[in-house]
Amino acid sequence: MKTFKNKFIFYTFFLASIFILSTQVSSAPIPKAPNIDVSSYILIDYDSGMVIASKNPDLVLPPASITKIMTSYLAFTELHNKTLGLHDEVLISKNAWQTGGSKMFIEVGKKIKVQELLHGIITTSGNDASVAMAEHISGNEETFAIYMNQMADSLGMYNTNYANSTGLPNESLYTTARDISILARALIKNFPIEYKLYSQKEYVFNDIKQYSRNKLLYLDDSVDGIKTGFTKKAGYCLATSAKRGSRRLISIVLGAKSPDQRTKASKSLLEYGFRFYETHKLFSSNQELTQARVFSGDKDYISLGVKDSSYITIPRRQIKNVKKKFIIDQNLTAPVSENEAIGYVAIELEGKTITTFKLFAMEPVSEGSFYRKTLDSIYRYF
């Protein structure tokens, strides 16, 4: 009997220890983001757009050749609008040919296909190729810069101003890590096929082989872009994206002191985000999330949902603690149009709202009959 009692006590203690240990593991705190000695950085999740880590993300800085992401973005836009073709030939001006800095080594008076110029802009970071593309699309680089700024505004890059297509030093050229992350996310979302050009490690033009300056393309198979930059004032900069499984992260590092530092900083940010954070899909597009009471309409309730699939990025093993709170107009009155914004759903974690999603009417509601309006007015009065 004593032996049985001892065994019972042992196993009870053993199981209790396992439970306590598993509880401690599951609630283990997330370590702080890497302490990186650069001017600014930001790490975001591609699907949710949420910020995982940042340092001075809204500090205005010169972007150097990261500017060329917008140059290529506009070229991709023109291709999709069919106002530009990959096999269109671009006459190289003296102005483009003599542009200083990194070069594709195009020659004045020659005709170069758009497809080749894109490789020159993206892989070899050719300033000459960027100017040639800008002149071909907009007539001159000054007009192209206006186009760049219009696109930046439409994307929500409110702390950015472009002055040229190359990133060469200019007092009127500036941006932020946050704005670059917005642009990088839009690039991957809107041009997934063209984005593959950013994973190319080398390109040969005029028998000259040049290599991408993004060393992470060689060090990490999950990295498939995006762009490096350097000037004395900007320091060493790197916009990076990596995809592991179904998750994609985007990191922006500005103002590093060396090429190796920007590479190590970007890699440490990506590892931090993949290791300690998770992304979860909360809602699907056209999925009914809740209903709202409608007064004076031809129906009493209306279905509400989100327009696009909605994701959140949170510390690992915290999805069970996520709560949803619906905030809806309590005096909603017909008529209501389909896709009209009705309210929003707040996503909370540990008592704090971490993000919100707008709720839209999934169907129209017309005005009800005089009888229905009368009943609802009485109901609302009492």
Domains in the chain, ordered, with CATH? 40-277 (3.40.710.10), 284-381 (2.60.410.10)
Say what the pLDDT of residue 2 is: 44
Task: Please identify which of the residues 65, 130, 251, 266 carries the catalytic annotation.
Answer: 65
The alpha-carbon radius of gyration of the chain (Å, integer) is: 27
Measured distance CA(166)–CA(129) in Å, rounded: 9
Other Cβ atoms less than 10 A from the Cβ of 140: the count is 12
Please name the residue ranges forming H helices in 123-202.
127-138, 141-155, 177-190, 192-195
Say what the pLDDT of residue 28 is: 64
Measured distance CA(40)–CA(72) in Å, rounded: 24
Given a cut of 70, the residues of the chain with pLDDT beneath it are 1-28, 382
Q: Any catalytic annotation for residue 125?
A: yes
Task: Please identify which of the residues 102, 125, 266, 296 carries the catalytic annotation.
Answer: 125
Residues pairing with 226 in the sheet = 240
Task: Please identify which of the residues 68, 103, 264, 267 carries the catalytic annotation.
Answer: 68
Q: Return the SS3 of 381.
A: helix
Q: Any catalytic annotation for residue 2?
A: no
DSSP 58: T
Q: Any catalytic annotation for residue 103?
A: no
